[in-house]
Structure 1
Amino acid sequence: MTALLLFGDQLGPHFYTGHDEILLVESAAALRRRPYHRQKLHLVLSGMRHLAQELGDRVTLVRAETYTEAIRAFGRPLVAHQPGSIAARDMLHRLGVEVRPTPAFALSRDEFTAWAGTRERFLMEDFYHFQRSRFDVLMDGDAPVGGRWNLDVENREPPPKRAKLGVPAPWWPEEDEIDAKVREDLDALELPAVGKDGPRRFAITRAEALKALETFVRDRLPHFGPHEDAVLTKDWTMAHSLLSVPLNHGLLHPLEVVYAAEDAYRAGEVPLASAEGFIRQVLGWREYVWHLYWHLGGKYLHRNNFQASTPLPDWWAELRPRTVRAACLRTALEGVRDHGWVHHIQRLMVLGNHALQRGYDPAALNDWFVTSFVDGFPWVMPVNVIGMSQHADGGVIATKPYLSGGAYLNRMTDHCGGCWFDPKKRTGERACPFTAGYWAWMDRNESQVRANHRMGRAVQNLRRLADLDEVRVQERDRELF
């Protein structure tokens, strides 16, 4: 009889239904291969062990040094679904394991390949329109509900003038004896982990994932849209779903998530802008990122349009932000340290923006996002980091670099009022490293961005700066943030 090999991100029933014998592997080598976030390691082991307990005799859970050792010791034919990395797929091929299409995404690889055709640029908005039509989500016949595909303009309100958004709290899981044993085993392994340990804040069983989805759609999705792009120092979850972990561990199917949000809108329980903004993240961006990972291939990881080569500083790589004076950057790094998670604006417009301005090596930055975030997997980050954040692909997936100065951060976060730096200053001791860094980056890369029609005004403004020489020297020598 052929058994099914499941990886730690393939834990939902759409993976194993119809299979009587299942193999799960805890590989010590995989756990210590990189400096993963401690909470990420916990989630992976907790998820596999909870599934093994739930399915009982159907599961063989093998603890081995490597996957290769475990699969060979198992000694029987295996099939597997397409895993979440090129390296894992290649390993399965070497070991003679049959690889079948994954059931974890709405769109199949063949359908994506047909959509991609001969395109050389892949704009998410085009793909998103295709997805909405293909799966009949928020559609009135052939037209989008409300007459517009994208309501992002309604979801850009700055943070409220209070410490917290004031929405119902997220649903939190309760740890059990399996979590306690995972924590004990991780302590004994002494892995090269980063970040702080627990408590476990993310759903990692099917029952937990369903509860988290139900609670989010009922209590928090109605409030999600307007402040989707805002950041509050003392409210790390705001109205975000926290569903990226159960989705990326395969515990929820994207269509059940999307249809739950659509049903709430059609029942009059959720505003269209909130439902659409959330659905765009799941049915649009998440599916787009998965398919482009495979479509663009392993060489995409080495794209480096701006020839950025600065190594990640130790305080960044090791999540030691205590001495960082820039409030927005310190808060984002503290969030990664404490939870292994910050929301998309902190990832893109704080962490990614800083890394772009400082010329961090894109491949190293991508690895850091994969290992330091609890929802990070090899397929998740390349389009997010190499493409959208760092524009290292030269415009394959985005029309311009996601670059901003302190003015944007001052408008969309509550950090700047209490920060040592002044977002309005680009020179001097208290010059905001984002404001000054913006102009220093523009100066270094003017020849490459000059022809970009979306950067034309910024290039013109650069040429008008009377203090550009001072900015150049200041940012070349800046060491503290």
Structure 2
Amino acid sequence: MSTAATTLKLVLGDQLSCQHSWFHTPDPGVVFVLMEVRQETDYVLHHAQKIIAIFAAMRDFARRLRNAGHRVHYLAIDDADNLQSLPANLDRLLAHYQAGEFCWQAPDEYRLDRQLADYAAALPIPCAMADTEHFYTARHEAAQLFDGRASWVMEHFYRHMRLRHKVLVSDTGKPVGGEWNFDHDNRAAWNGIPWEPADLRASHDHSALWATIEASGAASFGAPNAADLRWPLNREEALAQLERFVQHALPHFGQYQDAMSFKAWRLFHSLLSFAMNVKMIAPSEVVDRVVQALADGAAPLAAVEGYVRQILGWREYVRGVYWHRMPGYDQLNTFGHQEPLPHWFWSGDTRMRCLATAIGQSLEHAHAHHINRLMVIGNFSLLAGLSPQALHGWYLGVYIDAFEWVELPNTLGMSQFADGGLLATKPYVSSAAYIDKMSDYCKGCHYDKKARTGERACPYNALYWDFFDRNRERLVGNHRLGMVYQQLKRMDGPVLDAVREQAARTRRGLAEL
């Protein structure tokens, strides 16, 4: 009697969903393969916590699969037979198990999608790619929705998603509360009251894992915090974090979601993005729980809608942009910016208190919330003319939740406007006034938030006006920038000349700021 050939099924480090149909029933003819490989630690310089957390979560996931009766082949970073790349390891494992079929789940990153598709195409055995069963939308669903339209608008996509999935809409298709978007209620500065909720996340000691990562030669940066790693590493911890967010932070999330403070890096954010992006928990579960909080009277509509917009709207939308624009999107650079990142991106050692805080929090926690990423670090980078490709590499490496499908459109499109407006309707830049309004960063800063010129003038101020002056031809026709160019016109003459000189000095001396 012939024995059925083994099927090898690859599970990537961001595919840790125990809810996936692959894992419903153990099959002795299937071997699940997970690998810690230098290919994935080294393609960009990563924060130490990101490497530790992904490997620790993979190990936890593999243990759970084994305990559920599945066959698992796990390659640790220091295994002697680990060839440190997906294709090389797969070649060896397919031969070892005399596999008659190879399967994998759809990668979320273009480079892995092409690598595995090309690899499978060259194999002499049947191969199949399965869906990850994670997202609300298929890869190209957004592109199909916008087919024939001159431009993409996230708000149109968001309303479509709300209606399609019956989220915060009535039976007649009207938005709950009479409005689709409560963004106008989500812009309050935080004065310390109420204080951010206690950090009740589980603490993990992965010092031994960190030692093996270091010994493997994988480079990293940022604080490892290996003895006190606070990120959820399995589904139960992710669900517990969701509950803590709903009970203690969601009621204040909407009002303060754009606020920043050097006193509190978490504020009222959910800290669920890592768990969602490695698929421990599904976006639909998060949205459903947040919407239930509204029904229970546990959170206001503005907070619930604001959070739903980020997950059901923006997260799915940028994924659609990514798959529509790749390959090549990562190389766009509409302003031709080429300046390398200053050394303080790896130390936080700058006299600009906003950047020292935002970068310092990023290096300490492998996380910063969206306004620190967009309106402090990204804002400065665009105004100063830093390379969007270099910034993309830094964002992709430093943030624990950064995977290219979600990070690249946010960095290159939303933050740096390097795609010329394919994603955002205008460059998201500001002078010091916005940062001062939304944070306590300007208090006690070395630089004067109100000064445009002079030795102590806040660098954002001259850079802001100089940016619009230098890019006048490209941007003057943007209907959202009419007021900016009216003000710039009134500055023509000696005032604008002084601003140009100040900005030029600032760009020449970025390392010393």
The TM-score bracket by the shorter chain reads over 0.9
| DSSP 3-state at the match of 2:408 | helix
Residue number in structure 2 paired with 1:410: 436
1:117 equivalent to 2:147? Answer: yes
2: distance between equivalents of 1:39 and 1:460?
46
Kindly provide the CA deviation profile for residues 213-234 of structure 1, in whole angstroms up to 9, marking residues without a partner as x: 1111111111111111110111
Aligned partner of 2:16 in structure 1 is 11
Structure 2 CA distance for partners of 1:392 and 1:118, relative to 1, 3 Å: same
The alignment-based identity, stated in percent, is 37
Post-superposition offset of 1:185: 1.0
Superposed displacement of residue 120, structure 1: 4.3
2:223 to 196, 204, 207: 196
Q: Give the SS at the match of 1:3.
A: strand
In the alignment, residue 12 of structure 2 is paired with which amino acid?
Answer: F
Distance 1:433 1:19, change over 3 A: farther
Q: 2:71 — aligned with what?
A: 58
Q: Does 2:46 correspond to 1:36?
A: yes
Task: Tell me what 1:166 maps to.
Answer: 195
**SS state of the match for residue 339, structure 2?**
coil
Give the partner amino acid of 1:472.
R
Cα 1:464–1:93 change in 2 (3 A) is same
Residues 306-353 of structure 1 show CA distances to partners (whole Å, capped at 9, x for unaligned) of 11111222322xx1122x011101101101110111000000000110
- Structure-2 separation of matches of 1:445 and 1:171: 47
- Note the alpha carbon deviations across 1:16-69, whole angstroms, 9 max, x for none: 433643110111232233321000110111111111111115321024211111
Structure 2: distance between partners of 1:461 and 1:347? 27
Q: Does 1:471 align with 2:481?
A: no
Code of the residue aligned with 2:284 in structure 1: it is: L
User: Partners of 1:34 and 1:389 in 2: how far apart?
Assistant: 20
Residue 155 of structure 1 is matched in structure 2 by 186
AA aligned to 1:356 is L
Distance 2:19 2:319 in 1: 18
- TM-score normalised by L of structure 1: 0.95
1:351 equivalent in structure 2? 377
1:387 aligns with 2:417: no
Secondary structure of 2:224's match? coil
> Any idea what the Cα deviations from partners look like across 1:394-428, whole Å, max 9, x if unmatched?
11121110010011111101011111111111000
Tell me if structure 2 keeps the 8 A contact 1:171–1:216.
Answer: no
The equivalent of 1:71 in structure 2 is 90
Contact 1:92–1:99 (CA under 8 A) maintained in structure 2: no
Matched, 1:271 2:297: no
Taking the aligned partners of 2:428 and 2:366, their CA distance within structure 1 comes to: 23
* Partner in structure 2 of residue 91 of structure 1: 115
TM-score, structure 2 normalization: 0.89
8 Å Cα contact 1:47/1:205 also seen in 2: yes
Give, in whole Å, the separation in 1 of the partners of 2:383 and 2:393: 18
Q: Deviations over 1:242-275 (max 9, x none)?
A: 0000000111110010000001101111100000
Q: Is the counterpart of residue 430 in structure 1 residue 456 in structure 2?
A: yes
1:128 pairs with 2:128: no
| Deviating more after overlay: 434-443 vs 117-126 | 117-126
Specify every segment of 5 or more residues in structure 1 that has no aligned partner in the other structure, as ranges: none
1:448 paired residue number:
474
| Alpha-carbon separation, structure 2, partners of 1:433 and 1:187 | 38
